[in-house]
């Protein structure tokens, strides 16, 4: 997988992974096959933690609605 060196880079990686329908479908399928419990909760918790460590929280908070759509069924 990809590794980020900063919270901002991590947010960009997550956004790039979730922007493509095919990639998002593959991620969902993998999580379901591996029976990863609480995957959405874990991802959201980690993203919120990154916001707390970001040097640009206003930029990230402004994009929360964009990211939130990926976690709603």
pLDDT of residue 64: 57
Helices (H) and strands (E) in the chain, counts: 5, 0
Q: What is the domain count for the chain?
A: 1
Q: Which of 8, 2, 5 is nearest to 56 (CA)?
A: 8
Cα–Cα distance for residue pair 47/71, rounded to 1 Å: 12
Q: In this prediction, what percent of the chain has a pLDDT beyond 90?
A: 0
The structure's pTM equals: 0.37
pLDDT of residue 28: 74
E strands, the chain, are none
The pLDDT confidence band at residue 73, using thresholds 50, 70 and 90, is very low
Is residue 2 domain-resident? no
pLDDT of residue 43: 75
Cβ atoms of 29 and 37 within 8 Å: the answer is no
Structural domain harbouring 56: 7-71
Is residue 56 domain-resident? yes
Is residue 12 domain-resident? yes
């Amino acid at each position: 997988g990809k590794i980020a060196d900063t919270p901002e880079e991590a947010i960009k990686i997550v956004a790039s992974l979730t922007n493509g329908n095919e990639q998002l479908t593959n991620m969902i399928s993998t999580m379901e096959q591996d029976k990863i419990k609480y995957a959405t909760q874990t991802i959201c918790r980690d993203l919120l933690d990154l916001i707390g460590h970001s040097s640009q929280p206003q930029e990230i908070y402004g994009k929360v609605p964009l990211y939130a759509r990926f976690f709603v069924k």
